[in-house]
Amino acid sequence: MHVNSRSSPYIVSLKTLVLEPMMTESGKVYRIIEMDKELTYTLTPLHSIRNSCRHYGHSLENAMESSKKFLKKVHKPPIVIAFDYGSPITFFPTLSPSAPDNVWIALNAVLNIQRLKNACIIHLINGKQIKVNVSASTICRQVALGNLLEKERIRKYKELSRS
């Protein structure tokens, strides 16, 4: 895996599948799983999500507020980071976004969810899998909420393009 310096923040895109913390011999780093490769960064997933929102023209706070408003005050809401040619780039957190062990997962990355005791394995569209220490029902709920949010954003996007 390639380790990037703090001076090069990661910007999510449609090819980004997962941003997760992990321990190595040298300490905590953050793994980014893309469709065809993996990267390791020293900046937190939350920093990358926040930077990505700014890069695409808004803020994490606005994305979360908009999501909470539509989903009716949901804790740890999924967020739409950007639109790429009409396709939303939607991510959901496994824990509170500020929690040190939180994993951000792209909604379009989830192929299947395998239940374990007090955890689950998420099978990704690129054939990889990750284990997260939250229940499968929590992940299923996040996926369902993310799908609702995406449908609403796509509806609004189409409404805007028609007017």
pLDDT at residue 156, as a whole number: 84
User: What DSSP string describes 122-156?
Assistant: EEETTS-EEEESS-HHHHHHHHHHHHHHHHHHHHH
Cβ pair 150, 107 in contact under 8 A = yes
Give the separation between CA 94 and CA 7, rounded to whole angstroms. 27
| Blockwise average pLDDT, block size 10, the chain, 163 residues | 57 95 84 94 90 94 95 91 85 94 97 96 98 96 96 86 75
Residue 93 phi, psi (nearest 5) = -90, 150
139 Cβ neighbours under 8 A, 6+ residues apart: 94, 105, 110, 113, 120, 122, 132
Give which of 39, 105, 9 is closest to 113, Cα–Cα. Answer: 105
DSSP 31-55: EEEESS-EEEESS-HHHHHHHHHHH
| Total number of domains constituting the chain | 1
Would you say the C-alpha torsion 89, 92, 96, 102 has a positive or negative sign?
A: negative
| Boundaries of domain holding 15 | 2-162
- Check residue 63 and give its pLDDT: 95
Strand, helix or coil for residue 64: helix
pLDDT computed for residue 43 by the predictor: 85
The predicted pLDDT at position 126 comes to: 97
